[in-house]
Amino acid sequence: MAVKEDKMEESKIESGDSEEPRIGVFVCHCGHNIAGTVDVAKVADYARTLPNVIKAEHYMFMCSKPGVQMVKDSIRELGVNRTVVASCSKNQHGLTFAKAIAEEGINKHRHQQVNVREYCSWVHKKDEAKATAKALRLVEAGVNRARKLEDVETRRISTTKAALVIGGGIAGLRSANDLAELGIPVFLVEKNSTIGGHMTQLNKTFPTLECPQCSISPLTNGVANHPLIELYTNAQIKNVEGSLGNFEVEIEINPRYVKDNCTSCGECSLHCPVEVPSEWDKGMSMRNAIYKAYPQAIPATFVRDKKACIECNTCINICPVQAIDFSMQPETKTVKVGSIIVAVGYSEYDPTEIEPYHYGQEGYDDVITQLKLERMLSPTSLTNSEVLRPSDGKLPKSIVMIQCVGSRNDQVGNQYCTGVCCKFAIKNARIVKEMYPDTDVTICYIDIRTPGLNFEELYKSAQEVGVRFIRGRPSEIIKDPISGKLKVIVEDTLSMTPLQLRADLVVLSAAMVPPEGIGPLGSKLKVLRSKEGFLKEFHIKMNPTLSSKGGIFLAGAIQGPKDISETVAHAGSAAALAAAPLVKGYIEREMLVPTIDYDLCVNCGICKTICSPAAIDIDENGRPIVNKIACRSCGMCMPSCPTKAIQLINFTDDQLYDEIIAVSGGGVVCE
Amino acid sequence: MSDCETPDEYVQERIQNIVVFMCNECGQGSANTAGVARMSYDAAIRIIRVQCTGQVGPIQIMEALNNGADAVACVGCCLGACHFFNGNVISMHRIKLMKKLFKELGYSDQFVNQYTSRAAEGETAVGDFEDIIDRLTTAIQEKGTIKDGC
């Protein structure tokens, strides 16, 4: 059907082309703003001499009602079908005149705005002759450009009223909930067996030291029980087709091997003979092959780890409700959605590649990451919330925290500052120091970055309870060969003293890095990634929520490191933006898109590779096809084409050439 | 060079028009801001609006030079802030290649340049324009204008 529509549109443009251009030129005085520098009468006289110009006038204020009326009258009386107004910028009044001609039944893209104020009169005030000469050229260029302007259709695209949220962490939950509250059906896809993400692993949240589990459970429960939210756990995205407003997504759901009638009694786990380190607990405790990640996990249904399971069938026999079924198969589900929100979060940086810190090496069990410390401190931990050395289970007498592990480090390729490490390190240091006043807690930092409300206070409060801050990045963690104790070598750069800090426990504040598997997901979604590996936002300032592709939005740490408050705000913004076209039911798009001349096209596919919103597909015959809805009208495909087959409407090589001749003319033409 | 002219005048007379392709986003934005702030720059600068600097190909640049432009420049968004993701980077690569071509042909490589600007700061656009003229002036003093080379 889409193909049929395309053909109709092409024929329409061709018919519009055959009409002879009748151009009306209007030069604005803008009070003295333009007329004070540029000889407007001369410009209008010159314009009158140009081919196809039916009418050329100058007037005091073109944007005023009589000015706009002049434009309208010229259309009505003289049959002008293309207008050129030489006044201010396109952003300021371009739309005023475009609207005016649209009211007279002429496509608004047939208006050409020439900026002789910002680009000419205001910046060349001192040289009237040169400014007038330049204005002549600019107006001629505008007329040349107007001559070949074509109609651009505004098309209404109906949208599928449903959304897909990828990732069930705080960002995903927040946006899924917000979307559902707007009455939009949501498919929530989570890779793990439970929703909640990293937030459930934390012990306390800064700066108020609240319990994260308590903060997130209303949301996890709400999402799991929301009638409009369909939750898929153990699931991943297999394929994504379509664009803005209408996506078709294949979701692969791996079985839990436990049916929904599970009462979560835990008998199976209790009798399971297999024990493996718990991923959710960051390896700080063990779980069975059939397990629930943590007591409050949602969905509460148990899950079987097929890889770890030895298929002894104990659980099948012991289950009081016969919920366990090893014969379950993975299933693929295809859903149709209008918007996609990517909220896959982050991974904690794995410091093993920083050799001098010996993380994860034998004999260095007491070098842990902050997330492991969080797990140790949490109420459900194996150590009963005590901080104990993993090597011998003793209370550490001195703890050293190292900041900027994996962030602000060119050697590992991460230049960025994660921005939250200072905050969580200070929070944990303060908690530990308050628990054990006799324990020395030291933070080795490069810079302490605690911007924002309440964070500087947190920093101060940590200093007050006696946390020691040393400015310097540790060069190495060494192990004393005789005593076997760890020492952190660091230079205090404020007092210029080299130090060796005794450390019973070393905690690395590891950076937030893009999550595992983001590469394949990114390529399935056809969105661009930043050089750090996070998904790239549309514009860092003006639209940090939209991805490179229309209809795909980013929520939370997948766009870049964020703390929980920022993530929640970002997710809310993503939900609102994703909901807008779905609530309205349609998207209006101006079809300012390239057309491909298949007689010239050689099917090389270069345009496809250069297209950043992935709006060019290759069809079954190997020919490139422009997806008119996904296209962002940047025109980058144009110069990439070796045969000039692809041309952006109203910005074609031909049209630009006309403008270039007028603008660059005036000098000596090279023979 | 005629005798009555100083070298400066000679150069100035030969910088009559410079075609600047400015992208619809930051490029146009900064030029507008410069205008609103009544900054002033050389009247030789003539701006053509394109969607993105990535849209400007060698054809457009060569056409401009062939039709009498003394130099061509592309002004796009700052690196990393392209409104179409990487149009400015693509344009930068393209201009780099064109500079190479110019050198190989025996011309100065300053007849074509790529710049970035910020919509909120008119100074960036004016700075770019001044730089175009500075570079062109040096180039003309060294090797002559592009027309001299024909």
What is the DSSP secondary-structure string of A8-19? Answer: HHHHHHHHHHTS
Q: Which residues of chain A neighbour B51 with C-beta distances below 8 Å?
A: 633-635, 648, 651
Count of beta carbons in the 10 Å neighbourhood of residue A28: 26
Q: Please provide the size of chain B in residues.
A: 150
Share of chain A above pLDDT 90, in %: 76
Report d(CA A547, CA A555) in Å as an integer: 10
Return the residue in A664, A668, A669, A671 with the most chain B beta carbons within 10 A, the one to mutate for interface testing.
Answer: A664
pLDDT at A2: 43
Q: Do B46 and A541 touch (CB under 8 A)?
A: no
Report d(CA B18, CA B69) in Å as an integer: 5
Fold exhibited by the domain B17-143: Rossmann fold (3.40.50)
Report d(CA A165, CA A89) in Å as an integer: 40
Please state the rounded mean pLDDT for residues A594-614. 91
Q: Give the A:B interface size as CB pairs under 8 Å.
A: 157
Q: Do B17 and A635 touch (CB under 8 A)?
A: no
In this complex, the residue of B39, B68, B86 whose CB is nearest that of residue A666 is B68
- DSSP assignment, residue A207? T
Structural tokens at position A169: 């962490």
**Chain B: nearest CA to A269, how far in angstroms?**
50
B48 CB within 8 Å of a chain A CB: yes
User: A395, A588, A565, A118: which is closest to B22 by C-alpha?
Assistant: A118
Return the residue in A113, A130, A554, A636 with the most chain B beta carbons within 10 A, the one to mutate for interface testing.
Answer: A636
Q: How far is CA A35 from the centre of its chain?
A: 46
Closest-CA residue of A relative to B146 is: A670
pLDDT digits (tens, 9 = 90+) for B74-91: 999 988 788 888 899 999
Q: Which residues of chain B neighbour A612 with C-beta distances below 8 Å?
A: 84-87
Q: For tokens 């005629």, name the residue.
A: B2
Please state the rounded mean pLDDT for residues A411-426. 92
Q: How far is CA A590 from the centre of its chain?
A: 24
Report the predicted TM-score, pTM, of the whole model to 2 decimal places. Answer: 0.78
Q: Which residues of chain A neighbour B38 with C-beta distances below 8 Å?
A: 122-123, 125
Report d(CA A629, CA A247) in Å as an integer: 12
Sequence spans of domains, chain B: 17-143
H or E stretch at A187:
strand A186-189
Q: Do A119 and B35 touch (CB under 8 A)?
A: yes
Phi first, then psi: give them for residue A144, nearest 5 degrees.
Answer: -60, -40
Closest-CA residue of B relative to A112 is: B49
Distances (CA, A) of B144 to B10, B14, B64, B108, B141: 10, 9, 18, 9, 6
Count of beta carbons in the 10 Å neighbourhood of residue A209: 13
Decide if pLDDT at A527 tops 80.
yes
Report d(CA A196, CA A203) in Å as an integer: 14
pLDDT digits (tens, 9 = 90+) for B34-66: 998 899 999 999 999 999 999 999 999 998 998
- pLDDT class of B8 with cuts at 50, 70, 90: confident
Q: Do B67 and A137 touch (CB under 8 A)?
A: no
pLDDT at A10: 45
Cβ(A280)–Cβ(A193) below 8 Å: no
The domains located in chain A, with CATH, are 20-152 (3.40.50.960), 154-200+209-254+330-344+517-590 (3.50.50.60), 256-329 (3.30.70.20), 347-513 (3.50.50.60), 591-649 (3.30.70.20)
Decide if pLDDT at B148 tops 90.
no
Return the residue in A39, A123, A530, A612 with the most chain B beta carbons within 10 A, the one to mutate for interface testing.
Answer: A123
Decide if pLDDT at B2 tops 60.
no
Report d(CA A224, CA A296) in Å as an integer: 13
Closest-CA residue of A relative to B14 is: A667
Decide if pLDDT at A16 tops 80.
no
What lies within 8 Å, CB to CB, of A583 at 6+ separation is A161, A182, A183, A184
Is it true that the peptide bond before A351 is cis, omega within 30 degrees of 0?
no
Q: Which of residues 62-101 of B touch A (CB under 8 A)?
A: 63-70, 80-81, 83-87, 90, 94
Please state the rounded mean pLDDT for residues A94-109. 91
The three-point CA angle A420-A424-A427 to 5° equals 145
User: B108, B118, B115, B113: which is closest to B146 by C-alpha?
Assistant: B108
Return the residue in A546, A592, A634 with the most chain B beta carbons within 10 A, the one to mutate for interface testing.
Answer: A634
Q: Do B55 and A539 touch (CB under 8 A)?
A: no
Map residue A249 onto helix, strand or coil: strand
Phi first, then psi: give them for residue B66, nearest 5 degrees.
Answer: -70, -30
- DSSP assignment, residue A94? I
Decide if pLDDT at B1 tops 80.
no
H or E stretch at A182:
none
Decide if pLDDT at B26 tops 90.
no
DSSP assignment of A491-508 equals EETTTTEEEEEEESEEEE
Distances (CA, A) of A359 to A368, A440, A484: 7, 21, 16
Q: Which residues of chain B neighbour A138 with C-beta distances below 8 Å?
A: 46
Map residue A538 onto helix, strand or coil: strand
Q: Do B64 and A131 touch (CB under 8 A)?
A: no
- DSSP assignment, residue A410? G
pLDDT at A484: 87
pLDDT at B5: 58
pLDDT digits (tens, 9 = 90+) for A286-327: 999 999 999 889 899 999 999 999 999 999 999 999 999 999
Map residue A269 onto helix, strand or coil: helix
Map residue B50 onto helix, strand or coil: strand
Closest-CA residue of A relative to B125 is: A119
Phi first, then psi: give them for residue A503, nearest 5 degrees.
Answer: -135, 120
Report d(CA A456, CA A258) in Å as an integer: 48
Q: How far is CA A324 from the centre of its chain?
A: 40
Cβ(A71)–Cβ(A101) below 8 Å: yes
Phi first, then psi: give them for residue A440, nearest 5 degrees.
Answer: -80, 125
B47 CB within 8 Å of a chain A CB: yes
User: A309, A280, A266: which is closest to A192 by C-alpha?
Assistant: A280
pLDDT at B49: 92
Q: Do B38 and A636 touch (CB under 8 A)?
A: no
Cβ(A655)–Cβ(A127) below 8 Å: no
Closest-CA residue of B relative to A631 is: B84
Decide if pLDDT at A8 tops 50.
no
Structural tokens at position A539: 């514009």
Q: Which residues of chain B neighbour A540 with C-beta distances below 8 Å?
A: 80-81
pLDDT digits (tens, 9 = 90+) for A241-277: 888 889 999 999 999 999 999 999 999 999 999 999 9
Please state the rounded mean pLDDT for residues A69-74. 92
Q: Which residues of chain A neighbour B130 with C-beta distances below 8 Å?
A: none
Distances (CA, A) of B69 to A196, A551, B19, B111: 61, 42, 6, 9
Residue A252 burial (10 A CB sphere; 0-12, 13-18, 19+): middle
Q: Which residues of chain A neighbour B46 with C-beta distances below 8 Å?
A: 134, 137-138, 663-664
Handedness of CA B16, B19, B24, B25 (dihedral sign): negative
Report d(CA A670, CA A580) in Å as an integer: 54
Structural tokens at position A41: 């009468």
pLDDT at A443: 96
User: A631, A526, A536, A578: which is closest to A337 by C-alpha?
Assistant: A578
Report d(CA A368, CA A363) in Å as an integer: 12
Is it true that the peptide bond before A451 is cis, omega within 30 degrees of 0?
no
B19 CB within 8 Å of a chain A CB: yes
What lies within 8 Å, CB to CB, of A628 at 6+ separation is A6, A155, A589, A591, A593, A615
ipTM: 0.93
In this complex, the residue of A138, A610, A665 whose CB is nearest that of residue B67 is A665
Share of chain A above pLDDT 70, in %: 96
pLDDT at A375: 93
Bridge-based pairing state of the strands B71-76 and B18-23: parallel
**Chain A: nearest CA to B146, how far in angstroms?**
9
Q: Bridge-partner residues for A242, per DSSP?
A: A247
- pLDDT class of B149 with cuts at 50, 70, 90: low
Please state the rounded mean pLDDT for residues B19-31. 91
pLDDT at A18: 56
Please state the rounded mean pLDDT for residues A465-474. 95
H or E stretch at A584:
helix A564-584
Report d(CA A389, CA A399) in Å as an integer: 10
Q: Which residues of chain A neighbour B39 with C-beta distances below 8 Å?
A: 123
**Chain A: nearest CA to B105, how far in angstroms?**
16
- DSSP assignment, residue A26? E
Q: For tokens 């298949």, name the residue.
A: A598
Q: Do B50 and A656 touch (CB under 8 A)?
A: yes
Decide if pLDDT at A239 tops 70.
yes
Q: For tokens 């090496």, name the residue.
A: A361
The three-point CA angle A662-A664-A668 to 5° equals 110
Handedness of CA A638, A643, A646, A648 (dihedral sign): positive
Q: Do A636 and B55 touch (CB under 8 A)?
A: yes
Return the residue in A90, A656, A659 with the most chain B beta carbons within 10 A, the one to mutate for interface testing.
Answer: A656
Q: Do B51 and A653 touch (CB under 8 A)?
A: no
Bridge-based pairing state of the strands A440-445 and A398-405: parallel
Phi first, then psi: give them for residue A48, nearest 5 degrees.
Answer: -60, -30
Handedness of CA A530, A534, A538, A539 (dihedral sign): negative
Return the residue in B15, B17, B70, B72 with the most chain A beta carbons within 10 A, the one to mutate for interface testing.
Answer: B17
pLDDT digits (tens, 9 = 90+) for B105-145: 888 899 999 999 988 888 999 999 999 999 999 998 888 88
Map residue B25 onto helix, strand or coil: coil
